[in-house]
Structure formats: structure tokens, C-alpha cells
Amino acid sequence: MDTQNSLFSLFCFFLVCFFSGEQEVVEGRRLPWTSSPFGFRPKMLFVFGDSYADTGNTKIAETRSWKFPYGITFPGKPSGRFSDGFVSTDYIAAGCLGMKTPIPYRWREQLSERVKDGLNIAYGGTGVFDTMVAEPNMTTQIDFLQQLLHDSVYTKRNLKTSVAFVSVAGNDYATYNAKNGSAQDFPAFMESLMNQLMVNLKRIHDMGVRKIGITSLLPLGCLPRNTAPFSFQHCDDTYNALVDLHNQLLPQVVNILNQQTNTSNSPSFFILDLYNAFWTVFNRNETYQGNDPTFEKPFEPCCFGVSGGFKCGNVDENGENKYTLCSDPRSKFFWDGVHPTEQGWYVVYKTPAFQNSLKQFYGLT
């Protein structure tokens, strides 16, 4: 922990205000591909985490994701997704598994016939621990699935045909800072977060879920919210040093879990490499020879507040928009100050870094 202490001294003044988040269920449109390229084809997908994965759980009153212009690409109106259209969950479900996006947990009773496909229990703004939003943390999200198992909505045999997608995108660190946590205590906080994350992932596995993929932490210093002071030209290295520490510890968590649970030389826990996927996109320039889209200004968002006090989707007391909106979201990697566009998520999904981690997830390497 000595190395961590020396690095954490950099973070006394870091400020991270990340992911926040009534109801309308939106069926996912068909993606350019609908069949799984991998051998293992699960029947159910369960999703836990935050706004990078939420498809409509967070309440209207709590978030801008239910306000225009969110959802303008798909489904043409706000759907609770933190983007102009599809988010990571949609690409994991349709692109990898060849299935519909699982319905949000809050709609499980109204659309009970869809529960057989799994559930999305992710809530925007949440973390491993409690955050600044009044939504269920990851432990409580897992409690929801445990209760459904107890109520025989699912059986352990059912869950053995399922996989889980877990998104951890930085809200715990934002909350630590917002509560004036000290740099001195930060290493202990990160250690406690990793320990709780380990407990949470093992609980999902112990309920019968066959494979669990958890995201690495993306380069937070490259979010538009953090590149705005640099005119969206470059990232904040201090934020990214924090990310590096998180991503150094996460493989240790996954390795320990696989050692504890692996009885057939077939790992159950995998890291989905968002970090290198994002960097792959950021580093593409005019010399890139591939077929996937590039973004001329990757750190500049499509939708952004007109000044520091406003965000995408904000209006004033007269109903006037207090944000600027680009003409074509497909031309931008980021949708708002934190979240990718649908096109951004598509390109992330197609990167070699993310595809390689998916192949490991499905046991093809």
C-alpha cells in the first residue's frame, strides 16, 4: 500500500461528478447483427451497476435521462437510457447473445412474460456503496435478484443458463470526493470497495449465474466533464492515475474469485476491457485505415450545458434550452458530459480490446 499512498496524495483536490440517472419500456430495435459469434449461448442476461448499463430503472424525477434530447436516435424520445440511443447493455444483449435487451427491473410485474429473458437491475448514479443518488446500490440490486429466487420467479437451475454483466463506472469515487474524503484515507477506501465488489460478484455466482463479466474502469480523465477545462483537447492525467490504480486491483479480485470458485478449469469471472476499448477509439486519427468510424474531436460531446451550471437536457424557468446540441450524434463519441453516444458504444463494442475480452468471456481463447 506504500505505492498507493504516494499516488493517492495527488488526489486531494480531484472533483468527479459522474453518473446520475417513469417509466416506459422500449423494445430494442435489431442491431446490424443478431446472432452470437460465440459458442456459449445463454438464455438469460442479468445486468447490475450504473448509468452505463441502465435502460430505464431510474425514476423520471431523479434524472435527465427521461428528458429531451435523450433518446433522440432511439427510440425517438427519452427512454431512461443515458444516451441518444443504445447503451452498452443493448450491444451486449443483441450483439453478443443474440437476445432482446432484458427489461428494466421496475417493469418485471407489468411485463412478467419477459422475465424469462433476464432482468436489467442497473440504476443510474449508483455504485458498489451508497452514492449521492437515492437509488439501490449494487448490494441491494443483488438482493432484488435473491428475492426473486426466493419467490420462485427464478430457480437456481434457471440461473445456470444465465450470464451477468456488471458495470462499475466511477460513482463511488465521485461520492468519496463529494463527502470530502481525505487523500490519506483513500487507499483504505479503495481496498474496501474492492473487497465489497468481491463479495457482490461471488453472491451473483453463488445464486447459479454461470459467467460474470465486470467492466474495467474507463479513463475518467477523458470524460468531457473533465476535458472541458482544456477545451476538449486532452485528458486530465490526475483522474486517469486513479483509474490506473483501480484497474491494477481489479484483476486481483477476479483471479481470487476464479481460484475460489473454479472446479472445472473454466473461469466464471471476467473483465470486460472498457479501458483499452475507450483508448483505442481516442487514439484513432486521420491515419486510421480500419472500417470503423472515427471521431475528429473524441472528447467533445454532442450535448453540453451552455455554462458550468447547466447540463444536457436542462431548461430554465421559461422552458428555454440551456444546452447546445450537435446536428448529428453519430459524429460524436460522447453524448453528454459523461456518457457515450449510441455510435460511441457501437465503436467501443467493435474494438479489438472489447472483442477479445468477450471471447475470453465465452471461452474461445
Q: What is the pLDDT of residue 252?
A: 97
Choose, from 20, 51, 83, 268, the residue flagged as catalytic.
51
Instruction: Clarify whether 51 is annotated catalytic.
Output: yes
77 phi and psi, to 5 degrees?
Answer: -160, 165
Nearest Cα neighbor of 57 from 120, 110, 147 is 120
Max Cα–Cα distance, the chain, nearest Å: 63
331 is catalytic: no
Q: Which of 20, 50, 339, 357 is catalytic?
A: 339
Q: What does the pLDDT read at residue 309?
A: 86
Q: Residue 215 has what pLDDT?
A: 98
For residues 59-83, average pLDDT? 94
Tell me the domains of the chain and their CATH numbers. 2-361 (3.40.50.1110)
- Residues paired with 271 in a beta bridge: 214
Strand 118-120, strand 303-305: pairing: unpaired
| 244 tagged catalytic | no
Note the pLDDT of residue 64.
93
Mean pLDDT of 116-138: 97
**Residue 318, pLDDT above cutoff 80:** yes
Evaluate whether 221 touches 173 at the Cβ level (below 8 Å): no
Q: Which residues pair with 48 in a beta bridge?
A: 166
Q: Which of 50, 54, 90, 336 is catalytic?
A: 336
